[in-house]
């Protein structure tokens, strides 16, 4: 994904992705790209006999989706969020507050 995210909007062949990674066989990269396409993480387009791949979002989009999926599968989402918020560094709590304000939502109360 890092290869595709580093080329926003570009469509790359499986070979181009494999060449940039270097340490993985082309067949392995092609299999992973196809699986990512089935999951909706990448867009696949065929041009003749060549498959072209592009990221469907940014790295941030991917992380947010993974966080959302984790919360959706949590037995107790409130507890999961409570533990998460109390475990992150203060600067990340500030980032969370800013994001919630920008989204028009109230964040965790600032310590007085």
- pLDDT recorded at residue 105: 67
Decide if domain 2-55 falls under CATH 1.10.10.10: yes
**pLDDT tens digit string along 11-40?**
999 999 999 998 999 999 999 999 999 999
For residue 42, what pLDDT band results from cuts at 50, 70 and 90? very high
Phi then psi for residue 40, to 5 deg, are 85, 5
Reply yes or no on whether the pLDDT at 7 is more than 80.
Answer: yes
- pLDDT recorded at residue 108: 56
User: Which string of DSSP letters, residue by residue, matches the chain?
Assistant: -HHHHTSTT--EEHHHHHHHH-SS-HHHHHHHHHHHHHHTSEEEEEETTEEEEEESS-HHHHHHHHHHHHHHH-S-HHHHHHHHHHHS-HHHHHHHHHHHHHTT---SPPP-
**pLDDT tens digit string along 66-111?**
999 999 999 999 999 999 999 999 999 999 999 988 988 655 554 4
């Amino acid at each position: 994904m890092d290869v595709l995210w580093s080329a926003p909007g570009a469509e790359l062949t499986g070979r181009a992705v494999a060449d940039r990674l270097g340490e993985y066989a082309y067949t392995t990269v092609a299999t992973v790209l196809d699986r990512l396409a089935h999951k909706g993480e990448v867009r696949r387009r065929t041009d003749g006999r060549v498959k072209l791949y592009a990221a469907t979002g940014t790295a941030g989009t991917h992380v947010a989706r993974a966080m959302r999926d984790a919360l959706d599968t949590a037995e107790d989402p409130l507890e999961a969020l409570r533990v998460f918020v109390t475990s992150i560094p203060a600067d990340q709590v500030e980032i969370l507050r800013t994001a919630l304000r920008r989204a028009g939502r109230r964040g965790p109360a600032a310590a007085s």
